[in-house]
Amino acid sequence: MVGAGPGGIVTAKVLLENGFDVTVFDKYQQVGGIWSPEGCYDGLANQAALRLFEFADLPNRLHFAGAADTQRYLEEYAGTFGVLDRVRPGTEVVSIRAVDGPGRSGAAGWVIDSRPVGDKAAEVQRERFDYVVVASGAHHHAHLPELPGRELFGGTVLHSNEVRAGTFAGRRVVVVGGGKSALDLVTRAAREAASATLVQRKVNWMIPERLLLGLVGYKWILFSRFGEALLPRYHDPACVRPIDRIDERVKRALWWLVTRDMLFSTGLHRLPRQLRPTHPLPFHLAHAGVMPRGYVRAVRRGLITPRVSSVEAYTDKGLRLATGEEVAADVIVFATGHRKVFPFLDPSVRVHDSAGRLRLYRGIVPPGADRLGFVGFRQVFNNIMGVELTAHWLTCHFRATLRSTPSEQEMREAVDARLAWQEQVLPGSGGYDFGPYDIHCADELLHDMGLPSRRAGNLLAEYLLPGGVAHRYAGLTRSGPAK
């Protein structure tokens, strides 16, 4: 197992329950991935409301929690289920390759080379494993745009991952990006910095903590089967229910209402038109995060200077925008996302297409590579639930107990069909982000495992109560020794 973030520890737990002998490599000293002190920017906050950020077998009371409380829960989970004893902290995985030829179908196992993190002179330890799970996370390899003129700017340039306490104090800060991290950081800069400027190419939708004019928590709307039924139809026919066939005219009318409620409940209706999303929902809903508290207020009070433009180049003073405007800065933070790459994996194991999209069957296994799986790259809004269900599916895949095992060619055709659908309804998702389709994604994996997808005792609860929550999926698969 590579990675001891949420995906790594829950997969290790499920594998241990099913008789596998598990070793977990992690470069940080504490489990938690991006929630560990080494893995997150200072001030990172959880977007999850109550009962969302939890695994099925360990409830908690986290509600929009900070990184420290979130990491504490993950460490408790790892300790409770015997995963902590299997973790090798401070260990960097250098390479992974198949025993009898990189990526060869029918491989007898995998060889992993590792060493202490940060010590390139250390002796590499080589070990052989029957199976490998990559749970290295989608938010570790920073994406920084290549802009001309970097040598002209004498200030500090950081990716959002690198922001630490005191970075902004008394300085002119420019944050580039339009996602949750960008809004988080510029809102913080509005409190701490001499000035705070946000530069975004387009304004993304943000989800309010409470919908319906601020009266109802977002999970009651966005995490129900009825809420998902308003989305474009899911790509897998086996997961389409009668409610998903709502007439398109009805869907458009309901989305018109949801769009206006989102504008009101987030406070975006109080900002100038150019600072509101230009496309109606559900367009680009997959890229939405929860609106940071204080962002709209800071913009209205003039504490944040927003600019809607792309960035063209560095200057000696800061950045030049496509509009021709120059923005002065002492610190430039690029909250511009991450690359989903695996530098330790033998390049003959093909997991990307020519456009850089992940090509994984069900978002989990690469066609043609035996005994290898990925966890955390079938992302949904409630990714904690998503990675736990992925862990169960992958365990069944390793044990050859799924309902059916498609051929390599059938896997590739399924990936092609899913990517075509994602490009249409989830543009820019990179082949890994399933966005708001929490319950449909769960149904798909349960169907493969031969398990019932109905998780509530009656139809009203099944369709109207939050269904994209982990506690509905407790105790899915437990069996004897691994084959």
Tell me what pLDDT residue 284 has.
Answer: 79
Residue 236 neighbours by CB under 8 Å, 6+ apart:
440, 444
| pLDDT tens digits, one per residue of 35-94 | 999 888 888 889 999 999 999 999 999 999 999 999 999 999 999 999 999 999 999 999
Distance CA 404, CA 28 (A): 38
pTM value?
0.94
Residue 121 neighbours by CB under 8 Å, 6+ apart:
none
**Mean pLDDT, the chain, integer:** 93
Dihedral pair phi/psi, residue 414, rounded to 5°: -65, -40
Query: And the tokens for 314?
Result: 């560095």
Residue 405 neighbours by CB under 8 Å, 6+ apart:
none
- Pick the closest to residue 478 from 13, 4, 7, 1 (CA basis): 13
Query: And the tokens for 445?
Result: 């994996």
Domains and CATH numbers, the chain: 6-141+339-473 (3.50.50.60), 143-203+304-335 (3.50.50.60)
DSSP 262-329: HHHHHTGGGS-GGGS-SS-TTTTGGG-EEPPTTHHHHHHTTSSEEEES-EEEE-SSEEEETTS-EEE-
Position of tokens 């099944």?
462
Residue 239 neighbours by CB under 8 Å, 6+ apart:
440, 443, 444, 447, 453
Q: What is the block-wise mean pLDDT of the chain (483 residues), using blocks of 10 residues?
A: 97 97 97 91 89 96 94 98 98 93 62 94 95 91 93 96 94 96 96 98 95 93 94 95 95 94 95 93 85 96 97 98 97 94 93 94 95 95 96 96 94 96 90 94 96 92 94 73 38
Tell me what pLDDT residue 351 has.
Answer: 95
Tell me what pLDDT residue 481 has.
Answer: 38
Q: Which helix (H) or strand (E) element contains residue 332?
A: strand 331-334
| pLDDT tens digits, one per residue of 444-473 | 999 999 999 999 989 999 999 999 999 999
The DSSP letter of residue 234 is P
